[in-house]
Amino acid sequence: MNKKLSILFTNFSSVASSVLGRPWMFVLALFLLLLWALSGPILGFSDTWQLVINTSTTVITFLAVFIIQNTQNRDNLAINLKLDALLKKQKIDSQKLLKAEDESDKRLEKDKKKMQKK
């Protein structure tokens, strides 16, 4: 992918996830939903009235998934880098620990049980 486009999307998704995660955004969404519901009797609960909420929520959800996934991917990578740096600083050079994110879920659960027994 083009580096400039990647940086642009990263900046956009960071700002968008920050804005969308605020309490006032939830209140705004609730207000818009209430406004839509109150307009139902005025518009006769028409098919168009229903289509507006169905289409808008579908599109918003679809786009939000990409923003959330991008934010989580970057956060996970940053956390892994920080943990790797801490492990190296403490001179813990277990390759198993350093490569844990590449293991299967089953293997991680098995390792977790071993660690909890110690």
Nearest one of 72, 77, 70, 76 to 10, comparing CA atoms? 70
CB contact at 8 A, 67 and 16 = yes
Residue 67, C-beta contacts closer than 8 angstroms, at least 6 positions apart: 13, 16, 17, 20
Q: In this predicted structure, what is the pLDDT of residue 37?
A: 95
What is residue 91's three-state secondary structure?
Answer: coil
φ/ψ of 45, rounded to 5, equals 50, 45
| Torsion angle in degrees (nearest 10) through CA of 52, 57, 59, 63 | 160
pTM (two decimals): 0.71
Q: In this predicted structure, what is the pLDDT of residue 46?
A: 94
Give me the average pLDDT of each 10-residue run along the chain (118 residues). 87 91 95 95 93 95 93 91 86 75 84 79
Q: In this predicted structure, what is the pLDDT of residue 103?
A: 82
What is residue 22's three-state secondary structure?
Answer: coil
In terms of Cβ atoms closer than 10 Å to its own Cβ (0-12, 13-18, 19+), residue 104 is exposed
57/100 Cα distance (integer angstroms): 37
